[in-house]
Amino acid sequence: MTEVHGSLDKNIHNISFDSRVIEGGDAFVAVKGFISDGHFFIEKAIDNGASIIVCEDLPDVLNEKLTYVVVKDSSFALGVMSANFYDNPSNEIKLVGVTGTNGKTTTTTLLHDLVTDLGYVAGLISTVVNKIGKTEIPSTHTTPNPMALNELLRNMVDAGCEFCFMEVSSHAIHQNRVAGIQFDIAAFTNITHDHLDYHNTFKEYINAKKAFFDNLSKKAIAITNIDDKNGLVMTQNSNAKVKTYAAKSMADYKVKVIENSFSGLVLNINNQEIYTSLIGGFNAYNLNLVYAVATELGLDNMEILTAMSKLKSVDGRFEYFKSDKNIIAIVDYAHTPDALKNVLSTINDVRTKNETVITVIGCGGDRDKTKRPVMAEISAKNSDKTILTSDNPRTENPEQIIKDMQGGIPAERSARVMSITDRKEAIKVACALAVEGDIVLVAGKGHEKYQDVNGIKSPFDDYKIIKESLKNLNK
Q: What are phi and psi for residue 296, nearest 5 degrees?
A: -70, -20
pLDDT given for residue 13 in this prediction: 95
* Contact of 103 with 225, CB cutoff 8 Å: no
pLDDT given for residue 36 in this prediction: 86
C-alpha to C-alpha distance for 235 and 214, rounded to whole angstroms: 7
Cα 10 vs. chain centroid, distance in angstroms?
A: 38
C-alpha to C-alpha distance for 199 and 29, rounded to whole angstroms: 24
C-alpha to C-alpha distance for 92 and 303, rounded to whole angstroms: 24
pLDDT given for residue 199 in this prediction: 42
Indicate the domain borders of the chain: 3-72, 87-308, 319-472
pLDDT given for residue 347 in this prediction: 95
C-alpha to C-alpha distance for 377 and 367, rounded to whole angstroms: 18
Beta bridge partners of 359: 386, 441
Q: Which residues of the chain have pLDDT under 50?
A: 195, 199
Task: Give the CA distances from residue 80 to residues 28, 142, 380, in Å, rounded to whole numbers and listed in that order.
Answer: 14, 20, 47
C-alpha to C-alpha distance for 434 and 468, rounded to whole angstroms: 14
SS (H, E, C) the chain: CCEEECCCCCCCCCEECCHHHCCCCCEEECCECCCCEHHHHHHHHHHCCCCEEEECCCCCCCCCCCEEEECCCHHHHHHHHHHHHCCCHHHHCEEEEEECCCCHHHHHHHHHHHHHHCCCCEEEECCCEEEECCEEEECCCCCCCHHHHHHHHHHHHHCCCCEEEEECCHHHHHCCCCCCCCCCEEEECCCCCCCHHHHCCHHHHHHHHHHHHHCCCCCCEEEEECCCCCHHHHHCCCCCEEEEEECCCCCCEEEEEEEEECCEEEEEECCEEEEECCCCHHHHHHHHHHHHHHHHCCCCHHHHHHHHCCCCCCCCCCEEEECCCCCEEEEECCCCHHHHHHHHHHHHHHCCCCCCEEEEEEECCCCCCCHHHHHHHHHHHHCCEEEEEECCCECCCHHHHHHHHHCCCCHHHHHHEEECCCHHHHHHHHHHHCCCCCEEEEECCCCCCEEEECCEEEECCHHHHHHHHHHHCCC
Q: What's the full length of the chain, in residues?
A: 475
> Residue 289: which residues within 8 A CB-CB, separation 6 or more?
98, 103, 107, 187, 189, 223, 225, 245, 253
* Contact of 289 with 189, CB cutoff 8 Å: yes
* Contact of 438 with 355, CB cutoff 8 Å: yes
Q: CATH 3.40.1190.10: does it fit domain 87-308?
A: yes
CATH architecture classification, 3-72? 3-Layer(aba) Sandwich (3.40)
Does the pTM of the predicted model rise above 0.75? Answer: yes
CATH number of 319-472: 3.90.190.20
Q: Please give the single-letter amino acid code of residue 160.
A: G
Task: Give the CA distances from residue 146 to residues 24, 226, 411, in Å, rounded to whole numbers and listed in that order.
Answer: 21, 31, 48
pLDDT given for residue 382 in this prediction: 97
User: CA-based diameter of the chain, in Å?
Assistant: 78
pLDDT given for residue 310 in this prediction: 97
pLDDT given for residue 1 in this prediction: 65
* Contact of 71 with 53, CB cutoff 8 Å: no
pLDDT given for residue 194 in this prediction: 52
> Residue 205: which residues within 8 A CB-CB, separation 6 or more?
170, 191, 194, 195, 196, 199
pLDDT given for residue 171 in this prediction: 83
